[in-house]
């Protein structure tokens, strides 16, 4: 486990309802990336959806109502193009997916997206990946929902081949191809953050992952899952320790709810981060309770000055 805590910020406006005109969103992305970099964050991440179908499940676990923060009217930007755009206007901050649904794209297309972004960012890409969860989006894309786990495994096998070999072939249950070239070559060892909490997800962390990425989990939950990950880590004879990233909304200031994690005065938030670190967390990714961009940018700056600087 890394001794140094890393901090990231979620670029939620790429795929959530913000009420901002499409023409204005690129400027929002640029401003957010630059402020995150200037404020000392290690990484900016964005989620991945391709289309929002009319029928969206209403059991979304990350909102109190179960209603997701998006619908068919929501602008949803391609995550790889957005992060490539940010690569051109930032210098040092890493750029990540949190997370890509692997079965949305053919493995060769997804691998091309990753290698291209890694090259354009000169080795600043972090890859978060999971099988996906929205069945109606799978239906719209013609990807069998019930096969998403095995297709994710095959993609990870193919991506491992691509990182290790400039030319390779593959023969799997769902994907097959004769020898092809994988270019551009990776600019660095691309970190792989595996999402999900199932037994298969934990196994993927041990088999393929640099670490595990989760949303909203409490420190006790992180510690419990880390024990499961360590068992998988041992099964696959991995060296070192897995990285663990937790995404949570942040609220900083006297009006923040002190009963929420990462909410309150700087000292309260620093204490929460320390609790997460003790549970095995190596990266905290902050999101926001507000969709007001100016408020978000102000929170980034304050978080950098009053929290990140403490680490």
Short-list 290, 211, 200, 224, CA closest to 253:
290
Dihedral over alpha carbons 134, 96, 42, 310 (to 10 degrees): 10
Question: What local confidence, expressed as pLDDT, does residue 256 receive?
Answer: 86
pLDDT in tens, 234-248: 999 999 999 999 999
pTM over cut 0.75: yes
Backbone angles phi, psi at 145, to 5 degrees: -60, -40
- Give me the mean pLDDT over the 6-20 stretch: 93
pLDDT of 68:
75
pLDDT in tens, 223-235: 999 999 999 999 9
pLDDT tens digits along 55-111 = 876 666 666 666 777 788 889 999 999 999 999 999 999 999 999 999 999 999 999
Mean pLDDT for all residues in the chain: 94
Q: If you average pLDDT over residues 126-136, what whole number do you get?
A: 96
pLDDT on residue 149: 98
- Residue 1, pLDDT above cutoff 70: no
CATH superfamily, region 6-310: Luciferase-like domain (3.20.20.30)
Alpha-carbon distance 25 to 139, whole Å? 28
Residue 262 has a pLDDT of 95
φ, ψ (nearest 5 deg) of residue 106: -60, 140
Q: What is the DSSP string of 226-271?
A: HHHHHHHHHHTT--S--EEEEEEEEEESTTS-TTSTTEESHHHHHH
Burial of 257 (0-12, 13-18, 19+ CB in 10 A): exposed
Alpha carbon distance 201, 23 (integer Å): 38
């Amino acid at each position: 486990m890394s001794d140094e805590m890393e901090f990231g910020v979620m670029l939620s406006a790429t795929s959530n309802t913000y009420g901002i005109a499409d023409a204005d969103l690129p400027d929002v992305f640029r401003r957010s990336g630059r402020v995150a970099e200037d404020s000392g964050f290690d990484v900016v991440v964005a989620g991945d959806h391709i289309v929002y179908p009319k029928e969206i499940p209403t059991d979304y676990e990350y909102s109190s109502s179960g209603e997701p923060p998006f619908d068919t009217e929501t602008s949803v930007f391609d995550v790889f193009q957005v992060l490539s755009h940010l690569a051109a206007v930032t210098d040092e901050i890493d750029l990540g997916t949190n997370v890509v649904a692997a079965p949305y794209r053919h493995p060769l297309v997804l691998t091309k997206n990753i290698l291209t972004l890694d090259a354009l960012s000169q080795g600043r890409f972090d890859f978060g990946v999971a099988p996906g969860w929205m069945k109606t989006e799978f239906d719209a894309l013609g990807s069998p929902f019930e096969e998403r786990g095995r297709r994710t495994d095959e993609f990870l096998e193919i991506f491992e081949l691509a990182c290790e070999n400039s030319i390779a072939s593959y023969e799997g249950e769902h994907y097959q191809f004769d020898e092809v070239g994988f270019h551009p070559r990776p600019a660095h060892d691309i970190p792989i953050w595996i999402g999900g909490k199932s037994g298969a997800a934990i196994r993927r962390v041990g088999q393929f992952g640099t670490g595990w990425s989760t949303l909203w989990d409490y420190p006790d939950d992180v510690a419990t899952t880390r024990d499961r990950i360590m068992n998988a880590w041992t099964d696959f004879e991995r060296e070192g320790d897995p990285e663990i990233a937790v995404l949570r909304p942040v609220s900083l200031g006297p009006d923040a709810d002190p009963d929420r994690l990462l909410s309150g005065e700087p000292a309260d938030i620093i204490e929460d981060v320390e609790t997460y670190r003790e549970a095995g967390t190596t990266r905290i990714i902050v999101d926001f309770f507000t969709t007001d961009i100016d408020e978000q940018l102000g929170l980034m700056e304050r978080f950098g000055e009053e929290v990140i600087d403490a680490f």
